[in-house]
Chain A
Amino acid sequence: MSTAAASTAYDAHFRVWRGDTGGGGLKDFTVEVNEGEVVLDIIHRLQATQAPDLAVRWNCKAGKCGSCSAEINGRPRLLCMTRMSVFTRDETITVTPLRAFPVVRDLVTDVGYNYAKAREVPAFVPPPGVEPGAYRMAQEDVDRPQEFRKCIECFLCQDTCHVVRDHEENKTSFAGPRFLMRVAELDMHPLDAAADAGLDRKTTAQEEHGLGYCNITKCCTEVCPENIRITDNALIPLKERAVDRKYDPLVWLGNKIRRRER
């Protein structure tokens, strides 16, 4: 450790949840912190020096893969993008696993719910008769779905959404913000041919993926580390279009005709 780093080093107080499916509790640690470090660095230092079997998921350590999701002082966050400098030196920092998902061990949870929901969203339907290499789309038409494709699948939005956070029973009928956004993304894809194949994504959002549960409290948007405006840009437009679809057959017909002209 260089002298510059050593001079700014201090000992922080951490409380980390340790346990497994059978239960567990918060455990106290005193651990060294150096300039510029993030919470994940501290967790790694605990592994290397005090708790070699402390379980945590992580990969890229740069906010790009969405693996190291946990709750810091009760707030869903990426461990790798939470800098220690946002806390005061005498503050106790509490790290717990994502609350909406069952614990596997320590900070690792079973996120299988998300993978199950991903499978329930019908895939992109390629436009018939358009050869690979012949796809033409304007940048302004792909801007909107591209925003949603920034998603790193950290599942913080799924964790924080009150529809499932304390309501296990809603999980079967509610896809969660991430996968409702996926439906919106496909619905806004300029070349998705689902409608021609008899699949109306707006209706299925409502009827099969539980869009109606969402009452736009925007918790998902607040925790998104990619700053995707999930509620404003994906969920609300999807709701509006689902309503249009339900009550206004002319809108539906108009959309259909315009799509054909492309």
Chain B
Amino acid sequence: MAQVERQQWDVVVVGAGGAGLRAAIEAREQGARTAVICKSLFGKAHTVMAEGGIAAAMANVNSGDNWQVHFRDTMRGGKFLNQWRMAELHAREAPDRVWELETWGALFDRTKDGRISQRNFGGHEYPRLAHVGDRTGLELIRTLQQKIVALQQEDKKEFGDYEARLKVFQECTVTRVLKEGGRVSGAFCYERESGRFFVIEAPGVVLATGGIGKSFKVTSNSWEYTGDGHALALLAGAPLLNMEFVQFHPTGMVWPPSVKGILVTESVRGDGGVLRNSDGKRFMFDYIPDVFKEKYAESEEEGDGWYEDPDHHRRPPELLPRDEVARAINAEVKAGRGSPHGGVFLDVSTRMPAEVIKRRLPSMYHQFKELADVDITAEPMEVGPTCHYVMGGVAVDSDTAAARGVPGLFAAGEVAGGMHGSNRLGGNSLSDLLVFGRRAGLHAARYAADLAVRPVVDEPQVATAAAEALRPFSAEGPEAGAAPENPYTLHQELQQAMNDLVGIIRREAEMAQALEKLAELRTRARRAGVEGHRQFNPGWHLALDLRNMLLVSECVARAALERTESRGGHTREDHPGMNRAWRRVNLLCRLADPTGGLAATDPVGGQIDLERVTTDPVRPDLLALFDKEELVKYLAEEELYE
């Protein structure tokens, strides 16, 4: 093996979406020399897909809003499984993170008095989402990207080099976090363009790689969402938390097939859109669960009145948290009341004038017109659930974003677990990225600065990582001379299995079957082969990403099988109720064989070990924000009297 190029940095951020860029900005402003590594071009990360807005209790539209109300909404949305300290920090700090974006040039939609406008969204008591039409994610990513450029311009002035203290390695992939002893020492990477390997030596690594949706067939996620950060953490010895919780967004496109799963923003409902079944009925009124009965309208008149006069009306049930709406749509379709292409109808055309729709929902108008020949100002959309977000993720310290048990490893954004409990509210993702991206960057920089001696990257680790990455080029079939496996075929089979067997409604036997299928795919994935050479070879990239998807999929399946209740983004047909005894139970996934021996073929043992841990009790002053009557619905007996 030829010598692999090495570079030295203080902090490496893996991922250049909202969390990664915010972490990089903070680390650099703290004085750390910071490298960002991302699979796509700079500015293309999945954050651009976020549509609705950034939740922050700025109280610009309703003065009743404050961080406590936001905290309450977040805990309710997550069915009290949230790591409460994260939910608290998030609610407290989100307004500052949004305002700061304006000082970097962001241009949000405005209120009449010139402040940042805020819109309604599912599960949020007040209009809370700062937005730019329905392209808020694009504004966020562009603002952060331009802030990075601004910092590079400062460095150019000072050092004559744009990249003296902050560099983006675009179209590069990290395949291993490297360690010395127990501590992080760097990252092993390859350049997608050339296939060239390189090592970044750095004591601090921030994972900000987003989610896992590409393991499912119907998803709103892009090709990048292969669970890389989740897998890198596992392989580095850090546990993942509550991986059974996967959010199926209630409204994805269902037709034509090639766009199935693409997101239809919740703003459509926040701004007045309604859901109807094939009988024309607004069915959501039939699906208000007990825990939310007091908060939602019982009639169409009451719900419609809320848009104009929210103080004297309860909100319409179309704005229930996403898990509730997704299950309701699923049930309607199953009962034979679906739309022609297997979804339900989402209608704004009868609710708002055409020009208002075009102004408030421009990209939805564009998307349906261009991709489905549907004019949403004149006819309803057809929508159905799509895999959108994973609540589970790297188990982190709430304040510092440090991964549990691996000094030097940090995680922020979707790849981190805990913040959203069992279900995330719309709008809480972009704010999460900013709040915890900043915290991860801050603490990674401090950690790197405080180290007296830097961990060393040893040559054997680098050689092992290089051999692992090159494996697909020498893969062989089951017998000598037989053809190797096609990575695209393996990927399609994985997506089908996860969709069918560990999807929105789960059953014990199916999940057991999924684990067997995953074991089979793991064995075959060892034989995944590629044609051609290392330059920009998508078949090779996919073969490498399969390792991550298989690891993460097993975590989801195993944890989902273990949790015998239904809560948030985990619905068990065989255990339909929420069980208060499970509220304090967190499921941790760890790599069964941390020595690096991959692809165990035993379906029972697999690669992942599960551990049940009990969460810390919620701090009393935070519990006091809720009525006792509400708490009894969520908390176990003993928690109420502690």
Interface residues of A (CB under 8 A from B): 2, 5, 20, 34-38, 41, 47-48, 52-67, 81, 83, 104-106, 108, 111, 115, 118-119, 122-124, 126, 132-133, 135-139, 142, 145-146, 149-153, 186, 189, 192
Contact = CB atoms under 8 A, between A and B. Distances in A.
A83 B256 CA distance: 11
A48 B135 CA distance: 32
Given A62-B371, A106-B536, A119-B153, 14 more contacts: A37-B256, A55-B537, A63-B366, A65-B44, A104-B536, A118-B149, A119-B162, A123-B150, A124-B150, A133-B58, A135-B99, A139-B109, A142-B110, A145-B107
Given A64-B48, A119-B162, A59 B224 contact: yes
Given A81-B370, A124-B105, A65 B222 contact: yes
Contacts of A2: 257
B41 A57 contact: yes
B262 A61 contact: yes
Contacts of A55: 535-538
B41 A62 contact: no
Interface string B529-561: 011110111111000000000000000000000
Contacts of B49: 60, 62, 64-65
Given A52-B531, A137-B110, A67 B103 contact: no
A203 to B, nearest CB: 18
9 contacts: A36-B371, A53-B533, A53-B537, A53-B539, A65-B49, A67-B41, A108-B536, A150-B135, A189-B105
Query: Taking each of A111, A119, A151, which has the highest tally of chain B beta carbons within 10 Å of its own beta carbon?
Result: A119
Interface of B: 40-44, 46, 48-49, 58, 95-96, 99-100, 102-105, 107, 109-110, 113-115, 132, 135, 138-139, 142, 146-147, 149-150, 152-153, 156, 162, 193, 222-224, 255-259, 262-263, 363, 366-367, 370-372, 486-489, 492, 530-533, 535-540
Contacts of A151: 142
B174 to A, nearest CB: 18
A52 B149 contact: no
B222 A60 contact: yes
Contacts of B113: 136
Contact of A34 (B257, B532, B537): B257
B255 A149 contact: no
A138 B110 contact: yes
Given A52-B488, A65-B48, A123 B536 contact: no
Nearest to B539: A52
A149 B107 contact: yes
Q: Which 6 residue pairs are nearest across A and B when measured between Cβ atoms?
A: A36-B256, A124-B105, A53-B532, A123-B150, A136-B114, A52-B539
Given A34-B258, A61-B262, A124-B104, A119 B115 contact: no
Contacts of A122: 153
A126 B103 contact: yes
B110 A139 contact: yes
Given A64-B49, A136-B114, A58 B223 contact: yes
A83 B48 CA distance: 22
A83 B259 CA distance: 11
